[in-house]
Structure 1
């Protein structure tokens, strides 16, 4: 005697018919659920991986908190730096100057000297390693900002054909205004900008940063912008970046009301918002595809119910109720759902484990690179399987399979036993 309820016993028994090892109808239904779950897990895991990758790279070269006076210069900041440095939740804090400049490179044979408009970041070399990965991300030269030392992003170096030891001229908005004033006053001498030596080239793995950032000492930044001893703000690195909002709220009562404190989430809200929207839309699109696939499961379950026409008649002739018959066929679709979801999860994890091997094989066979380093700045496709995503996908897949079995189960329960046994 089976310990299972009779309805569940029959539902599981129908997964394997008498004459063949596996029911074709069961295989078709299970494959639909399996492929739907596997594709969802693979796509969502890759999108979560990109989200993690971008977050790590952004947090590596951007502070978790930025403290500044909007459209003004900070001059009294020593006390605030001391307060931040003694906070146990803070990994590091450092003053900065951050503004756009005009940078003119060396003349290139056959063309004029290249000109770019990067953002210049003036930093304290002794503190920079506590708030960013810049000092450890050099691919050429050294993080030497003494005198007129400068380190530049790899993309800027490539575009302007710069290497260690080359010299560039930097014009700040103030120096350009002084040039204009000199010309208006008819002076023969004008501000020709400041000459800097490229001491290093960095690559932080974030293309926008590599293409738009040059770094020099805090003193050079203050000189370029006539700040004297003033700064544009303070960068703060936390031990836990996800505590940035809580840290901001705890700092508000301790600092001047004219200081604005922004978090890394706010500074990069557009990027992370776009990633979240893409992930949500992908969820919706793939679940719609899954629902369409569920119609194939409905069709298979109806075919299965029709094939069991005689069995239904016998059960009803023996006194089985409509609810009893409905539970049998609903149990069958639920069993298909459990089997399909389980196999889909296993297939998805297996594919993700070998996804970069598969990409490398495709690249070697076709010569087509699906992840150009110049665009994505990654060597391997990132992925991250989050427990919440797995729960949503597997739970949603099981519910869709169960719902797909409701109509066939209801139709099977309404069959007339007399009609079913008339020709037997």
Structure 2
């Protein structure tokens, strides 16, 4: 809207408190604060949800790849041939042999379920998802009898670097009295943190040669981890492999492996956006009510302006500008508040936990160790535009009422 000089002057005066109009100004201030809180809440929640999803995706895909080609019955004796087929497929960047087997672990009388993962030494040491807490992954080499375990698992067992932890495999020797479980002791060479609670509580990493020996698998592996050029097109990229390995292996991509988790996040994201948008809608109604009160308080002024030649469209522009400016200031303040909160998000969580004595971010429930955040610029712009559009729409009715004021009726007895 392009305002004339007098329209800008009047709009500016209406934005500032006049004598006897403190209550109207208070309502307008509350409207501004409400818009600010609504915009900030939306930005904070959506950024945290995006960060949560992105962090989970990075951790899960960084450890498990974009897809796995798993042998039928958990055994893949011809894995080299299948890995070659995968590598030669357009769009595939790597195909890595893996062994993954649930076992039991024991240390000092404590027993915990673990997920044994056998990997090539170079893959263990070059995996950027693994953060070393104690020890060194360089100690975990074939034949060294050393393993790396998650920090939560180490806490549960009471183990540390140098501890002798026993791994119990049900695949042992067969005797006349049944199968005797295979129990092998390993030295903890490193304690790692992945950042996902379920992984940190269960994972035990060892060289693939040691895993084959422990599980009596010979030269076989359990699966092949595949990475592609585009994680979201993994099904299309790997479609040619499915026919070539039919009957020998099956392909499972990251979306299938974590379907329930990511679908729940998507539903929660939409629900949170819808609920928090109501805050902005409430703020818009506050703008509407403050403008209606302003119009009623300025009825005589409006009538005088009409008698002096002010046009209806000009009066509408004045009041629409007042309401839109209130909304715009609220949006700007909300953006600033949201970004400040996101920058200090973990400090805020720690402070609230300290004051309340409650654990607000339990990794057992939230999966991740820290509160994540990833701000989407397009989403932020969308939230700001939505708040501005709502604010603008809220000004139409009060502005129309102001423009419809009949100066004859108002000034008849003055």
Q: Please indicate the TM-score interval, normalised by the length of the shorter structure.
A: 0.7 to 0.9
> Is structure 2 residue 140 aligned with structure 1 residue 153?
no
Further displaced range: 34-43 or 257-266: 257-266
Aligned ranges for residues 370-409 of structure 1 at < 5 Å?
370-371=360-361, 381-409=371-399
Corresponding residue of 1:221: 211
Aligned-residue offset at 1:283: 1.1
State the superposition RMSD in angstroms: 3.4
Aligned ranges for residues 6-405 of structure 1 at < 5 Å?
7=7, 10-16=10-16, 23-71=25-73, 73-82=75-84, 92-103=94-105, 105-106=106-107, 108=108, 113-130=109-126, 133-134=129-130, 137=132, 139-140=134-135, 142-146=139-143, 148-163=145-160, 164-172=162-170, 174-175=171-172, 182-183=176-177, 191-200=180-189, 201-238=191-228, 243-253=230-240, 256-258=244-246, 259-318=249-308, 320=310, 322-362=312-352, 370-371=360-361, 381-405=371-395
Partners of 1:248 and 1:138 lie apart in 2 by 36
Which 4+ residue blocks in structure 1 deviate beyond 6 angstroms?
86-89
Partners of 1:260 and 1:392 lie apart in 2 by 42
Q: 1:3 to 1:244 in 2, by over 3 A?
A: closer
Contact in 2 for aligned 1:15/1:332 (Cα 8 Å): yes
Partners of 1:21 and 1:385 lie apart in 2 by 40
Q: 1:360 to 1:97 in 2, by over 3 A?
A: closer
Q: 1:383 to 1:68 in 2, by over 3 A?
A: same
Secondary structure of 2:180's aligned partner? coil
Partners of 2:115 and 2:148 lie apart in 1 by 12
Secondary structure of 1:229's aligned partner? coil
Q: 1:365 to 1:289 in 2, by over 3 A?
A: closer
Contact in 2 for aligned 1:93/1:131 (Cα 8 Å): no
Partners of 1:36 and 1:335 lie apart in 2 by 16
Further displaced range: 404-413 or 283-292: 404-413
Partners of 1:346 and 1:150 lie apart in 2 by 47
Q: 1:209 to 1:145 in 2, by over 3 A?
A: farther
Q: 1:158 to 1:355 in 2, by over 3 A?
A: closer
For structure 1, which runs of at least 5 residues remain unmatched after alignment?
Answer: 185-189
Q: Deviations over 1:238-272 (max 9, x none)?
A: 5x6xx124354234335615143333233222222
Aligned-residue offset at 1:405: 1.9
Secondary structure of 2:100's aligned partner? strand
- Total equivalences in the alignment: 404
Secondary structure of 1:127's aligned partner? helix
Instruction: Give the structure with the larger strand fraction.
Output: 2
Contact in 2 for aligned 1:334/1:398 (Cα 8 Å): yes
Partners of 1:356 and 1:227 lie apart in 2 by 46
Further displaced range: 68-77 or 194-203: 68-77
Contact in 2 for aligned 1:33/1:341 (Cα 8 Å): yes
TM-score normalised according to structure 2 size: 0.83
Partners of 1:72 and 1:369 lie apart in 2 by 40
Q: Deviations over 1:246-302 (max 9, x none)?
A: 354234335615143333233222222222222222211111122123222221111
Further displaced range: 141-150 or 2-11: 2-11
TM-score normalised according to structure 1 size: 0.81
